[in-house]
Amino acid sequence: MTVLEDSSASSAPESDGNGGGGLVFIGMAGLLIALVATVVIIGLIGLLRDESDGGGATGGEGASAGPTTLGLTLSEFKIEGELEAAPGDVSLLVTNNGSQQHNLVVRETGAESPMLNTGENATLALGTLEVGTYELYCSVAGHAESGMVAPLNITNDPAPTGEAAAGGTHDHNSPDFDADEMDAIMVNSMLEFPAETDGKGNQILEPEILPDGTKLFKLEASIIDWEVAPGQIVEGWAYNGQIPGPQIIVDVGDNVQVELTNNTPMGTDIHWHGIRTPNDQDGVSPFTQNPIKTGEVFTYEFVADRASIGMYHAHLHSQISVPNGMFGAFRIGDRPYPRGETISGITIAEDFEPDVELPMILNDAGTVGLTLNGKSFPGTEPLVLEAGDWVAADYYNEGLTAHPMHQHQFPQLVYAKDGIPLDYPYWADTVNVAPGERYSVIYQATDPGVWVWHCHILTHVERDTGMFGMVTALVVNPAEG
């Protein structure tokens, strides 16, 4: 009260003998009466407005509702729950009812829940959403492709909260499930193999031989339209217009130059994964070099001083460029075949040479998604052989999760890991390849027929719309004569 008296001393009338406190009390009472009157008037105006427009907060186009929380569940491999809300403040209560980790991402806003273990839940606040459709998906590699995608519809006429709507894949427990129809979808998708697509990766890159014998390889990084499967065109990030990028093969002792022209919209570099180089050629911006800016050219140079089965890929912004296609195989010298060795009773000839050699580059994310050598079934390329042929394959995992690569009928002899010969090669029908790893195998196609070759994470190869993804086949013809 003293402060109030002091601040008004110059304009207040003199005391009438009852003291200044009376004036202050009367002034504050008047202020309280004015505030109460204002609140009443505002309330009456609001009531009149509600009556004039029917009392609906969403009566106009894009009008905002109060805060809404929608319940969603995640499982293998679908997103289900409440998928409609009025425009306004929206949150998602996300529960993982599946048997493995999942999360939820809203593509248009970038909002992302934490990774949830089985039984865990989290609330994802999206803020104010306007009328429109928003894509929800799980960002775990391969999960969106396997069906964990659903639309979130923000509409002025949403379904009542609490009414569940199914997203993701077909609900096999629903009364309209037709087993014959599902069989036909799967079988017909398999019979489409092999299907032609534009573009082929892994083509061997021929070098320019400089006067001193140096082998010069020229690469261009750019964004292209890439046909992953028939009619499925994606925006790929490529070297020399192909995914995977071209194979680079040199001999031990070669002096190597790789000239990279960057025509992507952001800085880049090349890391030589599994290849021995000087530190300043390792391709890790900004530690070993400056980023190669858009339109710039940079030349790497090193001596290929030891046999290697490596790969090359971008390191700067790799979370974008690599899953989208900027990777390729790089081999120095001959593969270290276990010639003359006997493994589990099978002897590899002293003069062993395979009939077919190929890289098998695995991916599971980005625009390219679940693919073998840049293609998704039925666009993957079959391997056509004659009974008795030997195949040498190098698995390269450029993806974000491990892939157990299963070969039907023909055991694979695993003889090298990351290009390093194994002291004890072993036979396996399934080889688990983690991100960044390379496994080298040989096998003999002894029996005629069509034999499937695929990742054995089953949701990486089949979904309710049919076979897709990381599947190809050996077509083994009877031996001539």
For residue 178, being part of any structural domain is answered with no
Residue 307 has pLDDT above 90, yes or no: yes
Quick one: 336 and 230 in the same domain?
yes
For residue 86, being part of any structural domain is answered with yes
Quick one: 138 and 223 in the same domain?
no
Residue 34 has pLDDT above 90, yes or no: no
In the three-class reduction of DSSP (H, G, I as helix; E, B as strand; rest coil), residue 369 is classed as strand
The continuous run of DSSP H or E covering 93 comes out as strand 88-96
Cα Rg of the chain, angstroms: 33
Report the distance separating Cα 151 and Cα 99, nearest Å: 23
Residue with tokens 């009556």: 51
The CB-side HSE value for 458 (13 A sphere, CA atoms) comes to 4
Q: Are 406 and 441 in contact (CB under 8 A)?
A: no
Residue numbers of the domain that contains 293: 208-477
For residue 19, being part of any structural domain is answered with no
Quick one: 140 and 279 in the same domain?
no
For residue 173, being part of any structural domain is answered with no
Q: What is the mean pLDDT of residues 23-39?
A: 40
Looking at residue 119, what DSSP letter applies?
T
Quick one: 429 and 341 in the same domain?
yes
For residue 58, being part of any structural domain is answered with no
The CATH number for 89's domain is 2.60.40.420
Quick one: 108 and 232 in the same domain?
no
Residue 366 has pLDDT above 70, yes or no: yes
Q: Which of 166, 194, 218 is the last residue of a domain?
A: 166
Q: Is 474 left (phi over 0), alpha (psi -120 to 50) or beta?
A: beta
* Total domain count, the chain: 2
Q: Which of 133, 166, 199 is the last residue of a domain?
A: 166
Quick one: 336 and 285 in the same domain?
yes
Quick one: 361 and 414 in the same domain?
yes
For residue 89, being part of any structural domain is answered with yes
Quick one: 215 and 90 in the same domain?
no
Quick one: 99 and 162 in the same domain?
yes
Q: Which of 144, 166, 188 is the last residue of a domain?
A: 166
pLDDT at 464: 85
Q: What is the mean pLDDT of residues 216-242?
A: 97
pLDDT at 162: 55
For residue 455, being part of any structural domain is answered with yes
Residue 4 has pLDDT above 50, yes or no: no
Report the distance separating Cα 204 and Cα 27, nearest Å: 91
Give the model confidence (pLDDT) of 254-267 as tens digits.
Answer: 999 999 999 999 99
Looking at residue 462, what DSSP letter applies?
E
Quick one: 152 and 214 in the same domain?
no
Q: What is the mean pLDDT of residues 16-32?
A: 40
What does the mean pLDDT of the chain come to? Answer: 86
Q: What is the mean pLDDT of residues 116-129?
A: 93
Q: What is the mean pLDDT of residues 165-177?
A: 51
Give the model confidence (pLDDT) of 411-465 as tens digits.
Answer: 999 999 999 999 999 999 999 999 999 999 999 999 999 999 999 999 899 988 8
pLDDT at 142: 81
Residue 133 has pLDDT above 60, yes or no: yes
* Listed range (35-49, 67-81, 196-210, 319-333) with the worst mean pLDDT: 35-49
Quick one: 215 and 118 in the same domain?
no
Task: Place 31 in a pLDDT band, splitting at 50, 70 and 90.
Answer: very low
pLDDT at 21: 42
For residue 125, being part of any structural domain is answered with yes
Quick one: 132 and 226 in the same domain?
no
Residue 25 CA: distances (Å) to CA of 14, 21, 45, 82: 16, 6, 31, 56
Give the model confidence (pLDDT) of 370-392 as tens digits.
Answer: 999 999 999 999 999 999 999 99
State pTM to two decimals: 0.75
Residue 47 has pLDDT above 50, yes or no: no
pLDDT at 48: 38
